[in-house]
Amino acid sequence: MSDALSERLPLELIVAVGRGGLIGSSSGKLGLPWHIPEDLKHFKRITLGRPILMGRTTFEAIGRPLPKRRNLVLSKSLRKLEGVEVFASLESALHAAREGHEVPVVIGGARVYAETLPLITRIHWTDIDREAVGDVFFPPLGDDFVEVERREGESEGVTFRVLERR
């Protein structure tokens, strides 16, 4: 791992995780296997005004750059897109995202989560305890993180948690 990636600079991740580690559906709206307005508002509150880093598939599921956020997309096949910065490597994306000393937020998908998990310092984790069908799963978290905050959502089966690296 290069020095730029091995340095433990703040890097956050946001994810909604269902039963069995489910995080996505290739046929769901926005790539999600559920539609929970409360969680979408939570996502917006955490990411607004910040650089967000995502993979190509996540970007395509969203279908457009998210407003009032710096949209950085990891892709070797995409080129230029209006309102989006495209990077072929995680290292170059993180370097760009951290300009101005901002703390970027990784928003998915599974491959980007797996690649960035060793670098993550804080996770905004939403537990979704509902029946759902999907085909994308969060990588194993391990025991590197500890819960520092928890609040029950107003929506049934939704719990918001914050995890920090030990």
Query: What phi-psi label fits residue 121: left (phi over 0), alpha (psi between -120 and 50 degrees) or beta?
Result: alpha
Residues 146, 165: Cα–Cα separation, whole Å? 6
Residues 120, 109: Cα–Cα separation, whole Å? 14
Tokens encoding 57: 């598939």
| Residues 6+ away with beta carbon under 8 Å from 140 | none
Q: What is the pLDDT of residue 130?
A: 95
- Asked if pLDDT for residue 134 goes beyond 80, the answer is yes
SS3 106: strand
Mean pLDDT of 63-79: 93
11-41 confidence digits (pLDDT tens): 999 999 999 999 999 888 888 999 999 999 9
- Asked if pLDDT for residue 6 goes beyond 70, the answer is no
Question: Is 65 in contact with 71 (CB distance < 8 Å)?
Answer: yes
Q: What is the pLDDT of residue 7?
A: 61
Q: What is the pLDDT of residue 91?
A: 96
87-114 confidence digits (pLDDT tens): 999 999 999 999 988 899 999 999 999 9
